[in-house]
C-alpha cells in the first residue's frame, strides 16, 4: 500500500510542479513544495524500503538526519530543504501510526 501511495504522490507532485510553473513568479513556493514532495517520494522508493514498516521508519530517520537535500531546478534551496524536512516528518508520522497510506486522492 505504501508503494502505491508513493507512486501516486510522485505523479501528483509532477503535475503540481507543472501547474505552478505555468502560474509563474507568484507560484515559486508551490513549485518548490511540489519538487520537495517529488524528492521525498523518489528517495523512499528504494528496494525493500516500503515492504516493512521498520525498514521504512529506518529510511525516514536516515533521510531526516541528512544535512542537505540537493535538487536542480528549484527556486530557493533553503525553502526547498524546509519543505523536504516537513514532508519527511509527515510521512514519518504516517508510517509510525501506519495510517493514511490508503488515501491516494488527497494528501493528509
Question: pLDDT by residue (tens digit) across 73-84?
Answer: 999 999 999 999
Specify if 106 maps to a domain.
no
Would you say 92 and 62 are in contact if contact means Cβ atoms under 8 Å apart?
A: no
What is the number of structural domains in the chain?
1
**Full domain range(s) for residue 88:** 2-97
For residues 91 and 99, give the distance between their C-alpha atoms in angstroms, rounded to a whole number.
10
Specify if 108 maps to a domain.
no
For residues 37 and 9, give the distance between their C-alpha atoms in angstroms, rounded to a whole number.
8
Q: How many CB atoms lie within 10 A of CB 14?
A: 15
Q: 86 is written with which cell numbers?
A: 516537513
Of the pLDDT bands very low, low, confident and very high (cuts 50, 70, 90), residue 107 is low
Please state the pTM of the whole predicted model.
0.88
Specify if 102 maps to a domain.
no
Specify if 78 maps to a domain.
yes
Would you say 38 and 10 are in contact if contact means Cβ atoms under 8 Å apart?
A: yes
Specify if 104 maps to a domain.
no
Q: For residue 50, which of 60, 37, 61, 39 has the smallest C-alpha distance?
A: 60
Specify if 19 maps to a domain.
yes
Cα dihedral 108→49→70→20 (10° resolution) = -30
Question: pLDDT by residue (tens digit) across 39-89?
Answer: 999 999 887 777 788 888 899 999 999 999 999 899 999 999 999 999 999
Of the pLDDT bands very low, low, confident and very high (cuts 50, 70, 90), residue 108 is very low
Separation of first and last alpha carbons in the chain: 15
Amino acid at each position: 500500500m505504501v508503494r502505491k501511495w508513493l507512486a501516486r504522490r510522485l505523479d501528483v507532485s509532477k503535475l503540481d510542479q507543472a501547474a505552478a510553473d505555468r502560474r509563474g513568479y507568484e507560484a515559486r513556493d508551490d513549485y518548490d513544495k511540489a519538487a520537495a514532495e517529488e524528492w521525498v517520494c523518489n528517495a523512499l522508493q528504494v528496494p525493500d524500503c516500503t515492504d516493512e514498516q521498520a525498514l521504512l521508519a529506518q529510511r525516514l530517520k536516515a533521510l531526516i538526519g541528512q544535512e542537505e537535500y540537493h535538487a536542480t531546478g528549484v527556486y530557493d534551496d533553503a525553502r526547498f530543504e524546509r519543505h523536504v524536512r516537513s514532508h519527511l516528518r509527515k510521512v514519518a508520522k504516517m508510517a509510525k501510526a501506519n495510517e493514511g497510506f490508503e488515501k491516494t486522492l488527497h494528501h493528509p
